[in-house]
Amino acid sequence: MKKITAILFALSLLILSSCSADEELIPNESTLGSSHAETLSSVDVSRDETSTPVKAQSEAEKLLADMTLEEKIGQLFIIRPDAMKPNLTPNQINDSTKNGVTEFDAEMQKTLKKYPVGGVALFGKNISTPAQLTTFIHDMQEQSAVALFVGIDEEGGKVSRIAKSPNFDVIRFESMQKIGESGNAANAKNVGVTIGSYLKKYGFNLDFAPVADINTNPDNIIIGERSFGNDPDLVAKMVAGEIAGLHKSGMMSCIKHFPGHGDTKGDTHTGYVSIEKTWEQLKKSELIPFIHSLDATDMVMIAHITAPNITADKLPASLSAEMIKGKLRGELGYKGVIITDSMAMGAISLEYSSSEGAVKALLAGIDIILMPEDFVNAYDGVYTAVKNGIISEERIDESVLKILNLKERYHLL
C-alpha cells in the first residue's frame, strides 16, 4: 500500500512540473455550475507581475466627475465681487474707486449660486477695515459650493491694496525695485513671508505676485519700480525668493506679466501695446525670470501685449495659441495654471466683446479668465460655445482639473 501511494505521489509531481512556471491552474468554466462560471467571469484571473495598481481618484478628479457643465464653466472665472451685484453696470463694476461692494448680501448669494465662479479678486474699494474684510471673505467662502480662489494685487510698493489703506497695521515696503537693489534674495523672501502672512490672516489664498517683468525700458509707464530691476538674473533670483516666501506663508503665487511687460511704452489698461523683440531676444532677457520660476509658481499671468515678431496671428498674448500652447506650454514645458490679465482692460475690451474674448482665450489654452468686462456675457458665451461644439467639454475639463488640483494642493477642497 505504501509503495502504491509513493508511486501516485511521484506521478503527481511529474504532472505539476510539466506546467510552466508562470501558468495558473484555472478551472474550466464548462466543468463548473453556471453561478461559479459567472463569478469567475467577473474576476480578473490573469496575472501580470509588471502591472501597476490602479491609482485612486484624487479629490479633484472626484469633484470634476460630479460637476455639471455650468459648474465647470464657473471654475474658469475669477471675478470682482462687485460682478455679483445684478444692479451694477460693467462700468460701475470695473471702476477702480467707486461702487465698491464690501459685504456679501442675499443678491450676491443668488448670483453665486447661479454662476458658481472659481474665485474672486478684491480691490481697494472692497476693503475698509480688517474686521470687514475678514467677514466679507468668510461669507463668500461659506456660500460657495467649491472653495474660492480669493486673490489680490498685493505686490508691495505702489500696487498694494491692503498696505495702501490707512486702516491696516501691516509692514509696508517702498518698492520691489528697492528690494532688488539690496541684491539679497533673502529680502525678497521676507517680502513674500510678510505679505503672505497678513493676506492669509484676512482669508486670502492667492497673491497676484511677484512681478517677474524686467524694467528694461526707461520709458515704461506701467512696470517701473514694480520690477526688482533691469538685470535678468537678479530679477530671477528675487522672484524665486518672493515665491518661496509666499509659499512659506501658505499663499499661492502668480508670476506676471508673461512674456514680459518691461520693454514696452504703452499701457494695456487703455489699449493696444506691442513688443518688437523676437523670441530669441526675449529668451536672453525678459523671459529669464519666468523660465527660472515656472516649476515653482502656482500660476502664470499672461499679458495682453502683442508680439508681432513672435506670433503670426498678431493677437494679444492672452488670446494667442502660438504664445500659450506653442511657447509657454510647448517649448517652455509649463504644466500649471495659466490666467489672463484682467479682461476688462482696453487692449481686450476695445476689440472684443466679453464673450468673444473669453472663448478666444480658452481656445488659445488659457485656464482662468480674470475679470471680464461683462462676466455674465462671458460666462454665457463660453456655455454657448461648448453647446455649439466650438469648445469641447474635454477642453473645459482639462482646465478645470488643473484648477481643482491646485485648490486641492492648498487644502481648499
- Of the candidates 194, 345, 168, the residue with the CA atom closest to the CA atom of residue 256: 345
- Active-site residue identified among 207, 213, 341, 367: 341
- Cα torsion 121, 125, 126, 129 to 10°: value is 130
- Of the candidates 173, 169, 226, 174, the residue with the CA atom closest to the CA atom of residue 202: 169
What DSSP string runs through 261-326?
Answer: STT--S-TTTS--B----HHHHHTTTTHHHHHHTTT-SEEEEP--B-TTT-TT--BGGG-HIIIII
Cα 320 from Cα 296, distance rounded (Å): 24
Asked if residues 69 and 393 have their Cβ atoms less than 8 Å apart, the reply is: yes
Grid cell locating 397: 475639463
Cα 242 from Cα 14, distance rounded (Å): 72
The answer to whether 269 is a known catalytic residue is yes
- Of the candidates 176, 190, 182, 187, the residue with the CA atom closest to the CA atom of residue 255: 176
- Active-site residue identified among 269, 313, 380, 397: 269
Local structure of residue 97 (DSSP, 8 states): S
Grid cell locating 1: 500500500
Q: Say if residue 142 is exposed, middle or buried (CB neighbours under 10 Å; 0-12, 13-18, 19+).
A: exposed
Asked if residues 126 and 164 have their Cβ atoms less than 8 Å apart, the reply is: no
3-state secondary structure of 118: coil
Asked if residues 261 and 217 have their Cβ atoms less than 8 Å apart, the reply is: no
* All residues at 6 or more sequence positions from 81 whose CB lies less than 8 Å from its CB, including other chains: 101, 104, 108, 120, 122, 126, 136, 140
Grid cell locating 198: 497678513
**Sheet hosting strand 337-340, strand order edge to edge:** 254-258, 299-302, 337-340
Cα 189 from Cα 191, distance rounded (Å): 5
Lookup result for grid cell 484624487: 58
Supply the residues annotated as catalytic. 269, 341
